Amino acid sequence: QLQLQESGPGLVKPSETLSLTCSVSGGSVSNNNDFWGWIRQSPGKGLEWIGSISNSGQTYYNPSLKSRLTLSLDTSKNQFSLKLTFVTAADTAVYYCVRVVPMNYDVLTGIDDFWGQGTLVTVSS
Amino acid sequence: DIVMTQSPDSLAVSLGERATINCKASQSVLSSSNNKNYLAWYQQRPGQPPKLLIYWASTRDSGVPGRFSGSGSGTDFSLTISSLEAEDVAIYYCQQYYNNPQTFGQGTKLEIK
């Protein structure tokens, strides 16, 4: 059974960089058929798609976050990561890592069939 | 972005009764090339991450009970639970994956009456 687990600091200061890692077990991030993504959930904005990355490193970023966002893949560790720069209180949320089953290769979208448990990140000084 | 609007925001249904949640997209999520609706439904129980229930608007994911069904096309969709069970208490979200960014509805909270 595929399992995903987020890790990273729970508290980040405003204007600093939020860094999270998702460790994958029971499967491989090198699987040609899958993408790997991040979704966040906050009381004010609900569920928000952040972005996704394929096993070849092809990425899609939500345009609202694109200028601050970097996704990466580490096949040797079977992990993928998120970096979000210049964070503000609006970035406070529970961050989920997900496996994405591609359904529309034209725009790199899909369904999220496996989710990590989520990690709460609070942006505060 | 495609805006997904769910109704109602909350719903209370008696055990064994039918529950229906609606989702409306600001533009069609039906592809003319394959005649498929790029619409999924997720269930989020308290303290848990969302769980995929349905994709292509009406295809149940593996292991999802038969009492869950999805319907609709174009811009208007529904999720129906035919006979409510206690474990179905959750927030339900629709999601479109027709275009980027993928977007979710605001959620519908389902409770027991």
Q: Running along chain B, 113 residues long, what does each successive block of 10 average in pLDDT? A: 97 97 98 95 96 98 97 98 97 96 97 96
Query: What pLDDT, on a 0 to 100 scale, did the predictor assign at position A10?
Result: 95
Output the six-digit token pair for B19.
């529950």
In terms of phi and psi (left: phi > 0; alpha: psi -120 to 50; beta: otherwise), the region of B80 is beta
pLDDT of residue B44: 97
Q: In whole angstroms, give the CA distance from residue A31 to residue A118.
A: 23
Q: Does the structure show a pLDDT above 90 at A6?
A: yes
List of chain B residues whose C-beta atoms are within 8 Å of the C-beta of residue A115 = 49-51
Annotate B55-112 with DSSP letters as a single string: ETTTEEPTT--TTEEEEEETTEEEEEESS--GGG-EEEEEEE-SSSSPEE---EEEEE
Strands B10-13 and B108-112: parallel
Contacts of residue A106, defined as CB under 8 A and 6 or more positions apart, other chains included, come to none
Contacts of A1 (CB under 8 A, 6+ apart): A26
Best of A2, A66, A109 to substitute, by most chain B Cβ atoms within 10 angstroms, is A109
pLDDT tens digit sequence for A64-116: 999 999 999 999 999 999 999 999 999 999 999 999 999 988 778 899 999 99
Would an 8 Å CB–CB cutoff place A69 in contact with chain B?
no
Give pLDDT, residue A108. 80
DSSP structural state of residue A8: S
B63 Cβ neighbours under 8 A, 6+ residues apart: none
Contact A96 B101 (CB under 8 A): no
Task: Specify the pLDDT at position A34.
Answer: 86
The percent of residues in chain A predicted with pLDDT above 90, rounded, is: 82
Is A99 in contact with A113 (CB distance < 8 Å)? yes
Name the A residues in 38-57 with CB < 8 Å from any B CB.
46-49
- pLDDT number for residue A44: 75
Residue A47 contacts residue A41 (beta carbons within 8 Å)? yes
pLDDT at A43: 80
Contact yes or no for A10/A119 (Cβ under 8 A): yes
Distance of residue A44 Cα from the nearest chain B Cα, in angstroms:
10
Strands A46-54 and A93-104 turn out to be unpaired
B18 Ramachandran zone, left/alpha/beta (phi>0; psi -120 to 50) = beta
Task: Kindly list the residues from chain B whose CB atom is less than 8 angstroms away from the CB atom of residue A111.
Answer: 40, 52, 55, 95, 97
Nearest CA among A95, A93, A114 for reference residue A25: A114
CB < 8 Å to B100, chain A: 60, 62-63, 107-109
A63, A104, A117: residue with CB nearest B101: A63
Q: Which residues of B touch A (CB under 8 A)?
A: 31, 38, 40, 42, 48-52, 55, 61, 93, 95, 97-107
